[in-house]
Structure 1
Amino acid sequence: MKHASQRTLPDLRVPTIFVKPQTSFSGEEGGGFLRGDVVVVDNRIVGMRPSDKHLDGRILMPRLVEAHCHLDKCHTVERMAVVGGNLEQAILAQRQDKANWTDQDILSRAKRGLSEFVTAGTGMVRSHVDWGDTAPPPRSWSLMCALAEETSQTTLQLSALVGVAQMSDRSFAKQVVASIPDGHALGAFVFGQDGLEAGLRNIFDCATDRGLPLDFHVDEGLSPDLNGLELIANIALETGFSGPILCGHAVSLAVHPTATRNRIIEKLSKAGICVAMLPTTNLYLQGRNGGTPTMRGITLAKELDQAGVPVVVGTDNVRDAFCPVGRHDPMYALEMAILGAHLDSPFDTWLKTITTNACLALGADAPSLNGAPLDDVLLCDATDFSTLISGASRRPANTYFEV
């Protein structure tokens, strides 16, 4: 009989948000951490015990989760003559760039972005893929589906990004949904278009039939006339939709009157809808006035969190027409969110936006260190949350050996 292999990783800190209660984790508490010796059996974490060693107390945590990015668009900025402008101008510039989208171009850029996520310690990624004008899937969708199948270093989910007005055509909607494999998502761009409600109802119906999660780009503008977010919540409550729903951007929530804003947030909470805050792209595109912007152009992360709405933070666009800078790193996106939205300590609350809440939004189990394989956790060169979020190096914990 093979004996279990046991070893100890001395003097580490684990965030308490990743330790389930009444387990074999005990150690010194403080600053949102348990500190002690982590016990590993057959390369799985089984607990923690108090330590008599005083090393550097580095942080051990689950891999990060990227809930909203665009691997089909990334790393295209260097071939664009001019980058800058509002959302509509960015859409036009990116559409023009599609003349360069050969199979090799799409795959090389997507693989580069995915590799950057892996290097940053990301274990799960959801990327939107532009659908285009026809119901049959675009070549980029087929290529990205193949990439998702062959990728072994991280889990890649895809979300079809279709115009909501297109989905008001029932036949079109059914053809799109038929092209989405199990494990991926149905998404739509919701921006006050004609046919909005009909399109959303078809989306909910088709997703229910297939058991697909939903992921919307919604109300990406600073106009109080945009309120697709409330319509999505209304339909979710009316239909009792069971799959996870993620609504990205939700920028107009910041400019609604207080009563309207509170009403929408209450509905989001009741419907169990998650909201993605996307700081880099929204800070770059929103609130342009010809000079320095006076509005942040990002959603109400604090108010949503206080109302029990799960908030996630996403990387969104990296070096394309929508954001000419950035990096494929959820922790960097969280750092930008803290600055852009005045997110204050305790920072373990906001660490959930790129771990626990992001898993919920993607239909995955909440991350836990209990029983976690070493391949699925990170060792970080930090001893507090501020240092961790500020760019401390991260590497797979399976590179750590007993000292």
Structure 2
Amino acid sequence: MRSADALRNRSARVNVLVPQSLVSAPNSFGGVPHDDCLHGMPIITNGKLAGLAPPTGAPDRIVLPWLVEPHCHLDKCHTINRLGQVGGDLHQAIARQYADKIHWDEDDLRHRATQGLTEAQNNGCTLIRSHVDWADDPAPPLAWSVLVELAEDHPGLQLAALSGIELWSYPEFAGTVGDVLCLTDGVAGAFVYDDARTQAGLEAIFAAAQKHDLMLDFHVDEGLGDLNGLEMIADMALETGFDRPILCGHCVSLMDRSPRDVTRIADKLARAGITVCTLPATNLYLQGRTDGTPDRRGITRLRELNAAGVPIVFGSDNVADAFCPLGAHDPRAALALACVTAHLDPPLGDWLPGITTDAARALGEMPRMVDDADLTVLLTCDVTHTADLVSGRTPLRPATQTLGHGPKGAFKPENGAHSQKSS
């Protein structure tokens, strides 16, 4: 039974919904079931959402944790205005974006990356992972140095090095890059796409990650067709017993694998504890291109992976660049597009961990559940159904403004956001 003091401290002004998927102990949190949520009056004790009292009326808004952007490219974003009428498949996009790097000086990189960070933060994100292109020179590129400086003022910004997996097979490259990532709190990453040196590269990047206690993040099988990098990564994780978070983005080629293959690979992913990040905006734009309208869906097998117990998270990927001329740094938009393209049916609250708690865990952070959470790490949205929340039509607001007594104003994360690492 809740104390009288706690009940007196509850907010008497609002009735809220809390998605059950975002509550660690829904049976003891209070409130009453309402679709895929719990409905009640917030009990606020010492600045924390301690639970829900019985509702006194219709719900006013939904409460949820800060969002997580698990996969974007702040070094590339917002370059479309100088690329002309770009459009094409993955290889054409790589070539056009590479040509644009003549403009990537310090001021340009800082300006565009800051614009992307601001967009993500305005959309409720405090934990953001950006990939940074790393060419065949093992010395850190200018973009890495600029973004490392930005991360000093944005403690929720993680950086992952992005190079071809074959480069990791060369000892000088693996040794130098591993040392830099260790010194700058980076994530070891690579692009895995049907290369003869993939196996050697995977062995080297896993070894570097184990040596320096780094997380791993792969762009893998980013294309329709006969690709199998994802299974190679799962096999390597199982063989080495790697115990740090591994995130695999894209995984589009699973769409072309047989049901038996998908079942086998999904089982390995689940046993290895690997999370799959789907990136629908960029993959749908680039994959399955023909002379006319595409008739293939450039997205991975989300429903099958989810059924096998593989964690699924949703990322924005490329925003306004050669890989996708549109897009947004907004995990809700990524989830909404995935719902449409992969037939992720309601209750949509079941998928919210993919942009909140599961996404935080995939990035090595402690997931912030709603129960007993400080109001400063919670958001609210003035909607009364999780489908309306995912649609993105209604902006997110800090819970301190809507459930507490904080100052009104735009959403702005506090320093130290998501600073507690998961074990």
TM surpasses 0.5: yes
How far did residue 367 of structure 1 move? 2.2
Question: One-letter code of the match for 1:213?
Answer: M
Native 8 Å contact 1:63 1:355 kept in 2: yes
Measured in 1, the distance between the counterparts of 2:28 and 2:117 equals 35
Q: Check 1:402–1:159 CA distance in 2 against 1; reply closer, same or farther (3 A cut).
A: closer
Residue 292 of structure 1 deviates from its aligned partner by 0.2
Residue correspondence of structure 1 range 268-283 to structure 2 within 5 A: 268-283=269-284
- Alignment partner of 2:214 out of 194, 212, 217: 212
Q: CA deviation at 1:194?
A: 2.2
3-state SS, counterpart of residue 283 of structure 1:
helix
- Contact 1:10-1:402 within 8 A present in 2 as well: no
Match for residue 99 of structure 2 among 73, 96, 101: 96
Give me the whole-angstrom Cα distance separating, in 1, the residues matched to 2:26 and 2:286. Answer: 46
350-359 or 234-243, larger mean C-alpha shift? 350-359
Which residue is equivalent to 1:142?
Answer: 145
* AA matched with 1:130: D
Q: Is the contact between residue 14 and residue 59 of structure 2 (CA under 8 Å) also seen in structure 1?
A: no
Taking the aligned partners of 1:75 and 1:212, their CA distance within structure 2 comes to 29
CA distance in 1: counterparts of 2:26 and 2:258, whole angstroms: 44
2:199 aligned partner? 197
Greater mean alpha carbon deviation, residues 230-239 or residues 7-16: 7-16
| Alignment-derived partner of residue 27 in structure 1 | 31
Paired with 2:148 and 2:9, the residues of 1 have a C-alpha distance of 39
Q: C-alpha distance in 1, partners of 2:403/2:169?
A: 56
User: Cα RMSD (Å) of the superposition?
Assistant: 1.8
- Taking the TM superposition and a 5 Å limit, the aligned residue runs for 1:121-160 are 121-151=124-154, 155-160=156-161
Partner of 2:330: 329
Are positions 1:61 and 2:60 aligned together? Answer: no
Deviation per CA, 1:238-274, whole angstroms, max 9, x where unpaired?
Answer: 0000001010000111101222222111111111111
Instruction: Give the residue type in structure 1 aligned to 2:19.
Output: P
Alignment match, 1:84: 87
Aligned to 1:301: 302
Confirm or deny: 8 A CA contact 1:74 1:319 kept in the other structure: yes
Determine the C-alpha separation between the residues in 1 that align with 2:403 and 2:268. Answer: 49
CA distance in 1, matches of 2:50, 2:42: 8
Match of 1:14 in 2: 18
CA 22–345 in structure 1, closer or farther in 2 if over 3 Å, else same: closer
CA separation in 1, counterparts of 2:342 and 2:185?
A: 32
| 1:389 paired residue number | 390
Structure 2 Cα separation of the partners of residues 149 and 265 of structure 1? 37
Identical aligned pairs, as a percentage?
A: 47
Distance across 1 between alignment mates of 2:371 and 2:381: 18
Do the aligned residues in 1 keep the contact of 2:22 with 2:64 (CA within 8 Å)? yes
Q: Is contact 1:7–1:402 with CA below 8 Å preserved after alignment?
A: no
Counterpart secondary structure, 2:325: coil
SS at match of 1:323: coil
One-letter amino acid of the counterpart of residue 305, structure 1:
N
Deviation at 1:42, TM superposition (A): 3.0
Task: Give 1:36's aligned residue.
Answer: 40
How much does 1:184 deviate?
Answer: 2.9
8 Å CA contact retained: 2:22, 2:353: no
Shift of 1:371: 2.6
Task: Read off the aligned partner of 2:150 and give its amino acid letter.
Answer: L
Cα pair 1:190 1:217 within 8 Å, conserved: yes
For the Cα contact (< 8 Å) 1:378–1:396, is it kept in 2? yes
TM-score, normalised on structure 2? 0.90
State the distance in 2 between where 1:115 and 1:6 align: 34
The letter for the 1-side match of 2:33 is: E
Deviations 1:90-113 (A, max 9, x none): 000000001001111101111111
1:182 touches 1:212 (CA, 8 Å); kept in 2? no
User: What is the alpha-carbon distance in structure 2 between the residues aligned to residue 377 and residue 331 of structure 1?
Assistant: 16
C-alpha spacing 1:236/1:6, structure 2 compared with 1 (3 Å): same
- Asked whether the equivalents of residues 148 and 184 of structure 2 are also in contact (C-alpha less than 8 Å), the reply is no
Contact persistence 2:217–2:248 (CA under 8 A): yes
Deviates more, 1:260-269 or 1:205-214: 260-269
Deviation for aligned residue 1:43: 2.1
Report if the CA contact (8 A) 2:43-2:49 is conserved: yes
Instruction: Compute the displacement of 1:24 (Å).
Output: 5.4
* Inter-partner Cα distance in structure 2 for 1:402 and 1:240: 45
1:141-176 C-alpha deviation (Å, 9 max, x unpaired) = 011111111125xx1111111110110002210100
Q: Distance in 2 between matches of 1:190 and 1:22?
A: 40
Q: SS state of the match for residue 397, structure 2?
A: strand
**What SS does the aligned partner of 1:233 have?**
helix
TM-score (norm 1): 0.95
Instruction: State the AA in 2 paired with 1:105.
Output: D
**CA, structure 1 residues 263+99, in 2 after alignment: closer, same or farther (shift >3 Å)?**
same
Q: 1:28 and 1:260 mapped to 2: Cα distance?
A: 42
Contact kept? 1:123, 1:376, Cα under 8 Å:
no
**Which residues of structure 1 form unaligned runs of 5+?**
none
User: Where in structure 2 are the equivalents of 1:145-184 lying within 5 Å?
Assistant: 145-151=148-154, 155-180=156-181, 181=183, 183-184=185-186
Once the 2 structures are TM-superposed, how far is the Cα of residue 51 of structure 1 from its aligned partner? 2.9
Structure 2 unpaired stretches of 5+:
406-423
Alpha-carbon distance between aligned partners in 2 of 1:183 and 1:42, rounded to the nearest angstrom: 34
Q: In the TM superposition, what whole-angstrom CA distance separates every residue of 1:15-35 from its partner, at most 9, and x where no partner exists? A: 111222277521121211111
Size of the alignment, in residue pairs?
A: 397
* Residues 77, 320 of structure 1: 8 Å contact kept: yes
User: Which residue number in structure 2 is paired with residue 370 of structure 1?
Assistant: 371
Tell me if the contact between 1:26 and 1:50 (Cα under 8 Å) persists in the aligned partners.
yes
1:348-363 correspondence runs (5 A): 348-363=349-364
The answer for the alignment partner of 2:414 in structure 1 is none
What letter is aligned with 2:175? K
- Could you say what secondary structure the match of 1:179 adopts? helix
Q: Is the 8 A contact 1:221 1:252 kept in 2?
A: yes
Contact 1:24 1:48 in 2 (8 A): no
